[in-house]
Amino acid sequence: MSDARPAKSLAINAALAVVAALTLFPLAWMFSASLMAPGETSVFPPPLLPRSVTLANYRELFATAGIGRQIANSALIAACATVLSLVFNLSAGYAFAKLRFAGRDATFRTLLGALVIPGQVAMMPLFLMLKQMGLVNTYAGALVPWLASVFGIFLVRQYALSIPDELLEAARIDGAGELRIFTSIVLPLLTPIVVTLAVLTFLGSWNDFMWPLIVLTDRELQTLPVALAGLSREHVQDTELMMAGSVVTVLPVLVLFLVLQRYYMQGLLMGSVKG
C-alpha cells in the first residue's frame, strides 16, 4: 500500500491540475485576447498570448462604446440592491428566528413554500405594474425584485438562531426596547451573515440579466450584461473588443469573490441545507 501511495498521489494531483487548467482556460484566454490587436485572434491555430500587449480594445470600449456609463449603472444598481436587501431581510430574518409572535412559524413556512415559484412567473405583471408607476426605464424599476427575498430572510434566520435567548432577555430586563436590542446587540452579532448576504446580493444583482433586459431598454440606463449582450450582436467579428468587454464585466465580481470568498461559501453552504 505504501508503494502505491506516490503513484496514486501523482495521478490525483495531475488530474486536478488538468481539470483546473481546463476550467481556468476560458477566463485566462479572455484576459489574454482582450490585450491583442484587433483581428489577431482570427487565425489558425488560435494564438494564446498577444504578440504585443495593447490596450486599444479597452480604449475603444470606453471612448467609442461608452462602457463607463454602464459600469456606473451596474455598480450603482448592485450597491443599492445590496443595501436594500440588508434593510429588508435582516430585521425579518432576526424576527423569524428570535421574536415570538402569533403566526410566526406558519408565515415562515409559507415563505419557504413560495420558493418553488420561479421568479419569471411574476415578470409580466410586474412590468405592467412598474409601467403604471412610471418606473420602467428607471434604476428603481431594476431594483424592485431585490428588496426582500425569501432566500435572504432564510439565510439571516438560520444564522440568528444561534444568538442566545438569555442575552436578549437580559437586555429586556434592563429595559431596552426591541429596536434598541436589534441595533445595538443583534446587529453586531450578525456581522458575518451581513457580509455574506451583502456579497451574495451584490454578485447576484451585478450578474443578473433577464430582468434588467426587460426593464431597462434605454442604453444610458443599461447594466453591463445587457449592454454586453447588445454589443456582442453588433460586433460579432470584433473578438478582441468583446473580450475586453467581458473582462470589464467579469473582473469586478471575480475580485470581490476572491476577497470575500469565505463569506460567499458560507452563504452557499447554509443556503443549500434548507432540506
Site for another protein in 74-133 (CB under 8 A): 87-89, 91-92, 94-96, 99-102, 104, 107, 111, 114, 116-129
Of 53-61, 63-71, 175-183, 187-195, the window that binds another protein (rule: CB under 8 A) is: 175-183
Told to check if 64 binds another protein by CB under 8 A, we report no
Told to check if 275 binds another protein by CB under 8 A, we report yes
Of 51-59, 61-69, 75-83, 264-272, the window that binds another protein (rule: CB under 8 A) is: 264-272
Task: Give the whole-angstrom CA distance, residue 90 versus residue 78.
Answer: 18
Scan for cell 498577444, then name that residue.
50
Apex CA 155: angle with CA 74 and CA 213, to 5°? 25
Neighbours of 174 (CB within 10 A): 9
Told to check if 245 binds another protein by CB under 8 A, we report yes
Told to check if 201 binds another protein by CB under 8 A, we report no
C-alpha cell at 150: 425569501
Told to check if 30 binds another protein by CB under 8 A, we report yes
Contact status, residue 121 vs residue 211, Cβ threshold 8 Å: no
Told to check if 184 binds another protein by CB under 8 A, we report no
Told to check if 272 binds another protein by CB under 8 A, we report yes
In three-state secondary structure terms, 107 is helix
Q: Closest CB to another protein among 35 and 145?
A: 145
Q: What is the DSSP letter of 184?
A: I
Told to check if 207 binds another protein by CB under 8 A, we report yes
Q: What is the CA radius of gyration of the chain?
A: 24
Told to check if 269 binds another protein by CB under 8 A, we report yes
C-alpha cell at 194: 451581513
Told to check if 205 binds another protein by CB under 8 A, we report no
